[in-house]
Amino acid sequence: MRLTVAWVAVVLALGLAWGDRALEVVTPLASAGPGWETPLGRDHLGRDVLARLVVGAWSFVAPGALACAAALGLGVPVGAAAGWFGGLVATAQRALTASVESVPTLALVCLGAAIFGPTPLVLGALAGLAWAPRVAEAVRARLESLRQAELVLALEAHGVPPWRVLGHHLLWVGCRGLLARQALTLFAAVLTLETTLSYLGDLGVAEPTPSWGNMLSFEWGIDGNPWAAAAPALTLWAACAALAWLNEPEARRG
Amino acid sequence: MGASAMSVGRGGRLAFAALRRVVAAVGSVLGATLLLQALVGLAPGDAADLAANDPALRDALSAAWGLDEPLLTRWSRFVLGALGGDLGESLTVRPGASVWSLITAAAGRSSGLVAAALALGLGLALPLGFGGARARRLTLVFSAAPVFLALYAVMTGLNEGAWALIEAGKMERPGWFALPDADSGLRWALGACALAWGSSSLAELQAATADELTRLRRAPFVLAAQARGEPAWPVALRSLLPPLSEVAASQVAVTLGGLIVVERALQLNGAGSLFWQACRLRDLPLACGLAAAAALVVAGARLTSDLTRLWLDPRLREAP
């Protein structure tokens, strides 16, 4: 796990360092194959495919992090209130969740991009807002089951203040695994959303800024360096599969 | 007499529980439309600024959309208009055309694709659910690819393979070549497969089916039937229906989102491509109308699933 985190950190640091390299157009070397300087070759404008792949990771990492912060920041307090107080608060939370979940997330993000402009900030904020009710629902369901646990009754009987029972014992100890899973699912959803919008064009990351989605779209139907399209396609599939794998303990256990 | 009273009581409880779910579904659609109207109201400057540069047209649009009115007034006008079949006029996609008629025509074209994708997903998930851990892992990994990536890979493979065979003189140019430009039924079939397969849709259906099958294999009524030497699967399959309908309903929103991708990538004419055009050209009445229609479909699917579960699972009728 630590090795994976270190590897991701190195890729993201390289992404910051290679910003100019990813945009440098070398027309005479258009669609050149892999070599020492460019291990994945060049695209049909002569830009370094590896540099674009690494820099393109930031196109979903930044909105993904923002979406996770927004979803957890909004969803956890609402879910905690619904799970702790129950009654009307829980009913209102359920109604809110049902309303937001009725609109497909991609449709909500497209509409938001049309209204506010297709920026990473808008993508991250809207994905976070769309996901917050799911986080709230998951937290409420967990708290409702934990609320009646003997441990909680014992803590209350020992005079532990309610804010500590809720904040530490129920949310931190009882829900942190659940929240990590929710964050991972949301991050995978943002990866899919961002690359999809960039692939389809107009509402996603626009050229020349690299994204794995617009790299694929840019190379559609062009002969030359096959890695210019294969590299983002394989990386995207591997990233989606890895996130799904991490989030599925049942499958890992076999 | 006693049996009749009991039957009336059961019927009454069922009707009351169904009514509660209908009210919840209507509430979720109303909430979704309120959310969409709030989003339009939050547009920087004015939502009319996004659609028109001419000040006179901007003022006319502001008045027509009620942008100066409070959110609740605007929302109630939208809901009442929708109930009467009036969602305004398209601004940029088909200027002057009725949004309602555009949505109904496009929904008709897309409904078959959505239904085929859901049926295909369920049809594949059931046998894969019997496949055990290896099938689960394989489905998880291969179904994780986003819908557009699955389409990209298949279209590239088909185009390149066909081109190689045509160049080698081993095949005549097929009617579908080259995807996605040529009009053919293959595009529609590919769209249905990608919707059923991609963005982890199949993995979720398969995992839910496998979990339910595992639970049913250990259920006391199945074990008892097996001990008596009777076939347990008719009852087990009936028990599988409520959870499967719930998972299928939860996939409807994902499928409708994927419809935007599939119709745009395959150049199919339907509600998804119309929504994409509306967003791209900032035709907000059309985009909001289509999003509200999607919310209605999702809520309808959820309600159908709830009513199915209610009908088949008596415990839910007694729940508070």
ipTM value: 0.90
Report d(CA A216, CA B149) in Å as an integer: 9
Report d(CA A131, CA A186) in Å as an integer: 7
Long-range contacts of B67-71 (CB under 8 A, 24+ apart): B67/B41, B71/B34, B71/B37, B71/B38, B71/B41
For residue B105, tell me if it sits in a domain.
no
Q: How far is CA A131 from CA A74, A97, A187, B197, in A?
A: 9, 9, 10, 22
* A241 chain-B contacts, CB cut-off 8 A: 140-142, 144-145
C-alpha gyration radius of chain A = 22
Domain residue limits at B60: 1-92+283-320
pLDDT of res. B45: 67
Residue position matching structure tokens 């609109």: A103
For residue A13, tell me if it sits in a domain.
no
CB pairs under 8 A between A and B: 164
Mean pLDDT of A143-154: 87
Is pLDDT of A254 > 70?
no
Question: Predicted confidence band at A252 (pLDDT cuts at 50, 70, 90)?
Answer: low
For residue A98, tell me if it sits in a domain.
yes
Asked if B30 has any chain A CB less than 8 Å from its own CB, the reply is: yes
For residue B139, tell me if it sits in a domain.
yes
For residue A242, tell me if it sits in a domain.
yes
pLDDT of res. B44: 73
For residues B287 and B262, membership in a common domain is answered with: no
pLDDT of res. A251: 54
Report d(CA A53, CA A254) in Å as an integer: 33
List the single residue in A with minimal CA-CA distance to B267. Answer: A200
Report pLDDT digits (tens) over B244-270: 888 888 889 999 999 999 999 999 999
Give the DSSP letter string of B228-257: TT---HHHHHHHHHHHHHHHHHHHHHHHHH
Question: Predicted confidence band at B279 (pLDDT cuts at 50, 70, 90)?
Answer: very high
Q: Where are the alpha helices (DSSP H) in chain B?
A: 2-41, 47-51, 55-65, 71-83, 99-129, 132-143, 147-167, 185-197, 201-217, 220-227, 233-265, 271-280, 284-312, 314-318
Contacts of A8 (CB under 8 A, 6+ apart): none
Asked if B35 has any chain A CB less than 8 Å from its own CB, the reply is: yes
Percentage above 70 pLDDT, chain A:
97
C-alpha gyration radius of chain B = 24
More confident residue, A247 or B170: B170
For residue B291, tell me if it sits in a domain.
yes
Average pLDDT over all residues of chain B: 86
- Number of domains chain B is built from: 2
Asked if A104 has any chain B CB less than 8 Å from its own CB, the reply is: yes
Least confident span in A14-28, B222-236, B266-280, B285-299: B222-236
pLDDT of res. A125: 94
Looking at chain B, how many residues does it have?
320
Question: Predicted confidence band at B1 (pLDDT cuts at 50, 70, 90)?
Answer: very low
Asked if B40 has any chain A CB less than 8 Å from its own CB, the reply is: yes
For residues B71 and B152, membership in a common domain is answered with: no
Per the CB < 8 Å rule, is B24 touching A98?
Answer: yes
Per the CB < 8 Å rule, is B137 touching A254?
Answer: yes
Question: Predicted confidence band at B50 (pLDDT cuts at 50, 70, 90)?
Answer: low
pLDDT of res. B236: 74
For residues B201 and B244, membership in a common domain is answered with: yes
For residue A182, tell me if it sits in a domain.
yes
pLDDT of res. B320: 56
Asked if A59 has any chain B CB less than 8 Å from its own CB, the reply is: no
Residue B304's CB: how many other CB atoms inside 10 A?
Answer: 16
For residue B48, tell me if it sits in a domain.
yes
Question: Predicted confidence band at A79 (pLDDT cuts at 50, 70, 90)?
Answer: very high
More confident residue, A221 or B197: B197
Report d(CA A106, CA B283) in Å as an integer: 17
Asked if B277 has any chain A CB less than 8 Å from its own CB, the reply is: no
For residue A17, tell me if it sits in a domain.
no
For residue A8, tell me if it sits in a domain.
no
For residue B102, tell me if it sits in a domain.
no
Report pLDDT digits (tens) over A190-242: 999 999 999 998 899 988 999 999 999 888 877 788 899 999 999 999 999 99
The CATH number for A70's domain is 1.10.3720.10
Residue A159, min C-alpha distance to chain B (Å): 32
Residue B236, min C-alpha distance to chain A (Å): 23
Nearest Cα neighbor of B277 from B260, B292, B291, B294 is B260
Question: Predicted confidence band at A147 (pLDDT cuts at 50, 70, 90)?
Answer: confident
Give the DSSP letter string of B2-19: HHHHHHHHHHHHHHHHHH
Per the CB < 8 Å rule, is B145 touching A237?
Answer: yes
pLDDT of res. B51: 66
Report d(CA B277, CA B260) in Å as an integer: 10
- Number of domains chain A is built from: 1
Contacts of B275 (CB under 8 A, 6+ apart): A107, A110, B260, B286, B287, B290, B291
For residues B320 and B195, membership in a common domain is answered with: no
Report d(CA B317, CA B10) in Å as an integer: 8
Domain residue limits at A61: 40-253
For residues B48 and B160, membership in a common domain is answered with: no
For residues B39 and B121, membership in a common domain is answered with: no
Least confident span in A241-250, B121-130, B136-145: A241-250
